[in-house]
Amino acid sequence: MASGWLQRVRRALSRLALSLLACVSLAHVSLAQGSMAHASATLLLEEPYGKLGFFTATGHAAVYLSGVCAETPVVLRPCAPGETGVVISRYDGVAGYDWVAIPLLPYLYAVEHPDDVPLVADSKTTAFLRDRYRRSYLEELAPDLKNGNAPGGNWYELVGSSYDRTIYGYEIETTPEQDAALIRKLNSSPNESHFRLVSRNCADFAKDIINFYYPKALHRSVIADVGITTPEQMAKTLLRYSAHHPDLNFSRIVIAQVPGSMPRSARVHGVVDSFFTSKKYIVPSAILSPIFAGCVAALYLGTGSERSASGRNASVWTANGDAEPPMDRAELRAYRTRLKQFLVESYPDNSRKNADKAWERLQSKGRLSVDEQGRPRLEMLLGEAPVDIGISADNAFNGSAPPELVRQLVEARLQSELLHRPRQELSRAEIARDWEWLRSTAPERRVPVASLTAFHAETLHGSQQ
C-alpha cells in the first residue's frame, strides 16, 4: 500500500517537474528566437560613433520585431517558425525609401549565422562583410558602381551595426494580431523618404512603431530635447510606460560592440544633455552668452534624474540568442589579473603586452575571404608560406594557420574584451569560452593557463571575501 502510494507520488512529482521544465523553456524566449508564442517589439537605442558622434551624441533608434519578417527589405510578412524577425528603421538616402527592414543577425553583424561573427573586427573586415551581404541581398537598394565597387551612401547602416556601436534594447510584448495589423499598414502605405533631422528622424519612426502597438506610450520632450524626438527620450518614456503597466512583459538587454580596432562608440545623450556636457558647445556659448548657457545648465540640472536610461539592469545578449546577467567586478578583476599573468609568463620579452594592437597590425596585412561554408577567414604570408586562419567562432581552429597564430587571435579578443568593455557588456559564457580557447592553445613548455574549474573557483572565492 505504502509502496503504491510512493509510486503515485513519484509519478506526480515527475509530471510536475516536466510541467515546470516546460514552463521555464517557454518563458526563456530570447531576442533572437523570435517565438510566435511570445511576439515582441524591442526599441533599440544605439550609441553614436564616428564624426556624427562628435557633432551630436543622440545616437540612432530602430525597432526589432520578433514576429515580423521581410519578404524583401521593403515588404513585410509574418515570420515562419524558426525565423528571428527583423530590425526596421528610418534612414536618410537609401534608395529613396522611408524605412528598410533587415533580419536581426545581418543587421547586427552582416552575417547570417551566429558562429560566423568575427572574433575581432577592424574596418577592413567590417567593410568586407557588409559589402558581401549587400551583393547578396541589397543590390536593388545599393547597386554596384560602374567599376564594380561598392557604392557610397548610408546603406552601410543597414548591416553590421554592432561593429560600430553598443546597442541597448527595451523589449515589450506584442501579439500576432498586432504584428499582422502593422504589416498591413506598412505594406499598404507609401514608403517614400521625407527624412528631416528635427521632425521626421529615426527616433520619430521608432516612436510611431511602438505607439502603433501601445498608443501614446512614447513621446518627445519639449524641455530635455527642445521638442526634437531623440532615441534616449524614446527609451526613457518606454521605461516609464512599462513601470506603469507591470502586467506587460518587459525586459532590457545590451548588445556589446564587437571587439577589435573599430573606434568605440560613445554614450547616448539627449539634446540639452549633449549640449551641456560638450565643451565644444557649452564653452563658446558661456563666453558669447552667459545667460543662454545658464538657461541650458538649468534645463540640464532640471532633467538630471531622467538621464542615462541605457545600460542599467540590462542582461547581456550574445549572437547565439542567449541573455545573461553581466559579469560582476570581482570576476572582471580576476580575469584581468589572469590574462596579464598569462601574457607576462608566455612572453618574457613583453612582446604581447598589447596583444590586441599586435593582432591589429597582423590583420591589416592579410586578405579577407570566405571558406567553403562562407565563414570569414584571413589569408596571409607567414614568412614565405601562405596560411589562412578562420576569424569566426566556427572556423578559428580549422584553417592551416599554426597554433601560435590562432593563440594571438584569441589573446587579442580577450584583451579587447577585458580592457575595453565595461563589465556590464561582458558575457560570462563568451569570456569563459574564450579563456578555455586560450588555455587549449597555450604551449606546454610554458606556464599553463589555469583550467576553467580552478579559475572559476578562485573567482568565486575572491568575490565572497
Contact criterion met (CB below 8 Å) for 142 and 95: yes
Residue length, the chain? 465
Among 21-35, 58-72, 158-172, the least confident range: 21-35
Closest CA to 426 of 325, 285, 322: 325
Closest CA to 394 of 320, 446, 294, 343: 320
Q: Per-residue pLDDT averaged across 373-380, rounded?
A: 92
pLDDT in tens, 238-271: 999 999 999 999 999 999 999 999 998 887 765 4
pLDDT in tens, 54-79: 445 788 999 999 999 999 999 999 99
Provide the edge-to-edge strand list for the sheet that holds 376-382.
Answer: 367-370, 376-382, 385-390
CA pair distance 93, 196, nearest whole angstrom? 11
Looking from the CA of 194 toward its CB, the CA atoms found within 13 Å total 6
pTM here is 0.81
205: how many CB neighbours lie within 10 A of its CB?
21
Contact criterion met (CB below 8 Å) for 239 and 246: no
The SS3 assignment for 315 reads: strand
Strand partners, 253: 169, 315
CA diameter of the chain: 93
Q: What are phi and psi of 163, to 5 degrees?
A: -75, -25
Per-residue pLDDT at 281 exceeds 50 = no
The residue type of 226 is V
141-150, 177-186, 391-400, 437-446 — most confident range = 177-186
pLDDT in tens, 436-447: 999 888 765 444
CA pair distance 440, 432, nearest whole angstrom? 12
CA distances from 296 to 32, 277, 309, 432 (A): 41, 10, 20, 46
Q: Position of cell 564587437?
A: 258
Contact criterion met (CB below 8 Å) for 296 and 277: no
Say what the pLDDT of residue 350 is. 75
pLDDT band at 171 (very low <50, low <70, confident <90, very high): very high
Q: What is the distance of C-alpha 461 from the center of its chain?
A: 31
Q: State the pairing for strand pair 68-72/315-317.
A: unpaired
Contact criterion met (CB below 8 Å) for 266 and 191: no
Residues contacting 237, CB < 8 A, separation 6+: 217, 218, 219
CA pair distance 36, 30, nearest whole angstrom? 12
CA distances from 304 to 239, 286, 311 (A): 16, 20, 16
Q: What is the distance of C-alpha 244 from the center of its chain?
A: 27
Q: What is the DSSP letter of 145?
A: P
369: how many CB neighbours lie within 10 A of its CB?
12
Determine the straight-line distance between the first and last CA of the chain, rounded to whole angstroms: 52
Label each residue of 3-53 as H, E or C: HHHHHHHHHHHHHHHHHHHHHHHHHCCCCCCCCHHHCEEEEEEECCCHHHH
98: how many CB neighbours lie within 10 A of its CB?
19
Between 203 and 282, whose confidence is greater?
Answer: 203
pLDDT band at 26 (very low <50, low <70, confident <90, very high): very low
CA pair distance 73, 91, nearest whole angstrom? 13
CA distances from 428 to 29, 264, 356, 417 (A): 19, 21, 20, 11
Q: Per-residue pLDDT averaged across 298-312, rounded?
A: 52
Closest CA to 319 of 190, 443, 433: 433
CA pair distance 158, 166, nearest whole angstrom? 15
Closest CA to 61 of 47, 75, 73, 51: 47
pLDDT band at 332 (very low <50, low <70, confident <90, very high): very high
